[in-house]
Structure 1
């Protein structure tokens, strides 16, 4: 049985690849943050407190359009709601006697990649293993953001423009693999893209802010999909 230190070191080891990937993606986020008018401190603070590329990208879009704080908060709640489900799943892998403060810290560090690595751990999940993952993943994301903001002042405009599309590439990498072989999911992605274009171009909707459009589309598409294509319940054992 591993000690707490051993679990922490194991988490660090498995978290290094995550940190390296985060650095590359958040570097692009830092460039976009610079373009949106954020200074290095603001950009890094956003990365440290949010830890989600999709949420941060949406947040930057709303900040650049001078959206209301309430609108930004609701948008973040909806976009990041998937982490509720990940937290529920991981709660089945930790010891029932795990103190609340451990649970809260672990919940803060949950991302798609951290969840994927944590859920694959055999047996019970130690909080210290999760801390090991977070010890390298969070700094990797924050440092990438910092270097991206700084590079926005140094790199030539053409290179910045080229690097700024990397985040879109990462988002495509997130949605394409699950869509392979899944006609329903593929159809929903296409419908989402089409409706997003329609909402952006229709003159009658020009008075609606981008944040409200995101909220409406997310609730509308996800709600209809949940009713029309319900997911069958399965019993999962995380032992």
Structure 2
């Protein structure tokens, strides 16, 4: 058990280093929207989702409703449920229901990718080790970013706040270059977002985000369906 935990921690170190820089930007953005350093750190500790947290602080800053917040989080974070279902096929027999519930807390895009690449069944200790290190980096980066946001000049804080959005761009651009479907969905979301920003201004930012995500995804699924092939057959 200890060996698996240490192995999970070692595999989580690269994730932690990446999370430090990204969550630093979130901490600055959170403080810039009026949240305290403690509140920003608690959000990172209880959510562990970059896109969800970024959208959440925007809704908080805009005075959005709880319903708006719930719908936005469901839309953005639904992918984690699909990741959990996929990983359930690779779990060791030691993964009882309590362990599954505990491990689901730390399933992120990066942790999912590392776990999915493992050739051996995933044990609870392995996932706990990775989650512990990754979450430590995510929360620590948030706390440091929030503290820096309270001390740095406004111009510097604004510039550092772009780190989080830079990560989103870095994630989207490579697949856009490879697949027309991803590019079309991304451009559709951008166009709809601009319409809500400058034309349909009465719609709140949270609901605009929900509509952008759903419409762009449905359009992509309709125009660029993914063919499921098995043993050479469609």
- TM-score (normalised: structure 1): 0.92
- 1:174 to 2:171 alignment: yes
What is the 5 A alignment of 1:80-91?
80-91=77-88
Aligned to 2:140: 143
- 1:10 to 2:13 alignment: no
Across the aligned residues of Structure 1 and Structure 2, the Cα RMSD in angstroms comes to 1.5
- Give the Cα separation in 2 of the matches to 1:217 and 1:141: 27
* Secondary structure of the structure 2 residue equivalent to 1:92: helix
- Give the Cα separation in 1 of the matches to 2:197 and 2:205: 8
Q: 1:97, CA displacement in angstroms?
A: 6.0
Question: 2:184, 2:220 within 8 Å by CA — same for their partners in 1?
Answer: no
- 1:206 to 2:189 alignment: no
Q: Which runs of 5+ in 2 are unaligned?
A: none
Residue of structure 2 aligned with 1:69, choices 66, 69, 83: 66
Aligned to 1:228: 223
What is the 5 A alignment of 1:32-181?
32-95=29-92, 98-181=95-178
Q: Which runs of 5+ in 1 are unaligned?
A: none
For the structure 1 residues 102 and 49, does the alpha-carbon distance in structure 2 shift closer, same or farther, using more than 3 Å as the test?
same
- Give the Cα separation in 2 of the matches to 1:178 and 1:88: 23
Structure 1 window deviating more from structure 2 (96-105 vs 122-131): it is 96-105
Q: 1:176, CA displacement in angstroms?
A: 1.3
- Give the Cα separation in 1 of the matches to 2:99 and 2:202: 45
Aligned residue pairs, count: 231
Extract structure 1 runs of 4+ deviating beyond 4 A: none
Q: 1:43, CA displacement in angstroms?
A: 0.6
- Give the Cα separation in 1 of the matches to 2:104 and 2:174: 26
**CA deviation string 1:15-56 (max 9, x = no partner):** 111111101110110001001111122111110111111111
* Secondary structure of the structure 1 residue equivalent to 2:151: coil
**CA deviation string 1:105-139 (max 9, x = no partner):** 11110001101111111121112111110111001
